[in-house]
Structure 1
Amino acid sequence: MTHCELEDITMHLNNRISSIRRVLELRAIAKDQDKRIILEKIGQDVLAIDGLLDQFEKCVVRQKDLLKHLKELEGFFQEDVQDGKHLRDNKPTHMPGKGQQALHGGGPLSESKPADVQTAQQEKPRKTSKNHIREMEFITSVEFESIPQYMKGRETYDQLNAVVQNINKALTGKYKIVHQSAKTLNNATRKLLQRFKEEENKETKGVFFFVEADIKEFTQMKVDKRFVRILNMLRHCQRLRELRGGGITRYVLH
């Protein structure tokens, strides 16, 4: 009910009451049969006013219930706003990639997967385009906590994912050259492509891998003991596996 409607009802009630007062002042003439008809009409008006008052009270109750419901909704809305602000101010530096498990509340990753999971993965191979470059997925906070402390040392979550980012940079640089037409390569990239082919073998067919030389070529990261320790951490999180042969260690993406 709007404000204007309430004013109309109030005015209507006041007019009715004024009429009743005037008639009551003339009740002395009620003995007149003709005037008795007027009094009966007044009685009907009083009953009508009483009905209007009942409707008005019911409307007030409905409006109070609606106001209470709106206040509850406002409280829920404010909670959502606070949650949104918290997510905005505390978003992780690195988000899991598409299809990557968030591992909320899960335990540490095991070195081996159940047979049914392996079978399902074998039955549903990834469909990739010919020139698609696969990248290593970032480490989640739960996975980082699953790494043994002796293996982590002083490395932080952000430092570990910074290395993942550099590895992806090296993979992108390498496989852009691999997928590039040989006619468009210059002498430097032709030499790199020749090295890439020499590092391949029958076990690397259809997989993405990198070697230490790729890290040196495409990033500013040092290949030292710290880098080797981080590779062990990534292997623990099942991001890569080692493939040795011909005096070269190949790091293959899972």
Structure 2
Amino acid sequence: MATADLNGITFHINTKISTIKKSLQLRKIDEEPSLKTVLSKIVHEMFLLNNFLNQLELECHHQERQQNQLKELEESLEKDYNEAQHLMENIPIHLPKAILNSAVGLTVKNEEQHRDVEADRAKKPAKEAKCIKEAPFITAEEFEAVPAYMRGRLTYNQVNAVIQEINKAVVSKYKIMRQPAKSMSSAARNLYFRFQAEETKDTKGEFFIMEADIEEFRQLKADKRFHSVLTILRHCQRLREIRSSYLVRFAVC
């Protein structure tokens, strides 16, 4: 992360903290009706600051992982370079010239054959398997724009955790749908027939799940909080409902 960005983040955090400190200096705020709006503002500012710190923590973890990966890559490259340097410095000088020339010719021939094979593969591209569609995570800006009555006490991380579980359930379902019938277990075959029965003309080409699928594949209860998260996901256009035959299907947008 650049120094300018860190300075900007530090300034932003200090500004938020200063705002909260100034607001808390007001005495008996809960006893005067005229100052209740100030208390509400304090709560809102603390909520925004908490979300911002969570986002900063996630970014720090991401940068740390990238740094570790770069360090591992550097060590691997250094090892390969040392091995190549050793090979170059220890080439046997007693190899017969004819054998050396023959080996060089064989290498060139193999390289030409390899290029021909690659060219044939390029002319006949393999069919790519259709990916299973997953719902993107909610951004911090989107979560803050969600109306307060929808959010309730839900946090940004809780909403994205539910999205992650829903995506895993979708992947598990459609892996069964694409599995050859001969390789299915009895339980998987029963699920497959149930999934087929839930398909309608409105679900053609859609990736969807139902509450039963979430409870089947993930340890996630379809309780009141879960339905509150679904409301947010529909609001943010991550899921949409498909209703028919008294059944509710949640399709990935």
TM-score normalised to structure 1 length:
0.52
1:152 aligns with 2:76: no
Shift of 1:228: 1.1
Shift of 1:93: 8.4
For residue 138 of structure 2, what is the aligned residue in structure 1?
139
For residue 173 of structure 2, what is the aligned residue in structure 1?
174
Once the two structures are superposed, the pairs formed by residues 5-44 of structure 1 within 5 Å of their partners are none
CA RMSD of aligned residues (A): 2.9
For residue 247 of structure 1, what is the aligned residue in structure 2?
246
Distance 1:240 1:129, change over 3 A: farther
For residue 231 of structure 1, what is the aligned residue in structure 2?
230
Q: 2:141 is aligned with what amino acid? A: V
User: Deviations for 1:194-226, whole angstroms, at most 9, x for unmatched residues?
Assistant: 010000000111110110011000000111121
Q: 2:221 is aligned with what amino acid? A: K
Distance 1:157 1:194, change over 3 A: same
C-alpha contact 1:93 1:158 (8 A) present in aligned 2: no
Distance in 2, matches of 1:93 and 1:139, equals 19
Q: 2:132 is aligned with what amino acid? A: I
Name the SS for the 1:138 alignment partner. Answer: coil
1:79 aligns with 2:47: no
Q: 1:168 is aligned with what amino acid? A: N
1:91 aligns with 2:65: no
C-alpha contact 1:137 1:239 (8 A) present in aligned 2: yes
Shift of 1:247: 1.7
TM-score normalised to structure 2 length:
0.52
Name the SS for the 2:187 alignment partner. Answer: helix
Once the two structures are superposed, the pairs formed by residues 90-239 of structure 1 within 5 Å of their partners are 90-91=58-59, 129-239=128-238
Distance 1:144 1:82, change over 3 A: closer
Distance in 1, matches of 2:196 and 2:216, equals 16
Name the SS for the 1:232 alignment partner. Answer: helix
| Unpaired segments ≥5 residues, structure 1 | 1-76, 95-127
Shift of 1:79: 2.8
For residue 17 of structure 2, what is the aligned residue in structure 1?
none
User: Deviations for 1:151-192, whole angstroms, at most 9, x for unmatched residues?
Assistant: 111000000000000001100110110111111101000000
After the TM superposition, list the runs of 4 or more consecutive aligned residues in structure 1 that deviate by more than 3 angstroms. Answer: 80-83, 85-90, 128-131
What is the percentage of aligned positions where both structures have the same residue? Answer: 48
Distance in 2, matches of 1:88 and 1:153, equals 23
| Unpaired segments ≥5 residues, structure 2 | 11-54, 63-126
Q: Which has the larger radius of gyration?
A: 1
Distance 1:199 1:129, change over 3 A: farther
Distance 1:195 1:227, change over 3 A: same
Aligned residue pairs: how many?
144
Distance in 2, matches of 1:195 and 1:164, equals 23
Name the SS for the 1:250 alignment partner. Answer: strand
For residue 54 of structure 1, what is the aligned residue in structure 2?
none
Shift of 1:131: 3.8
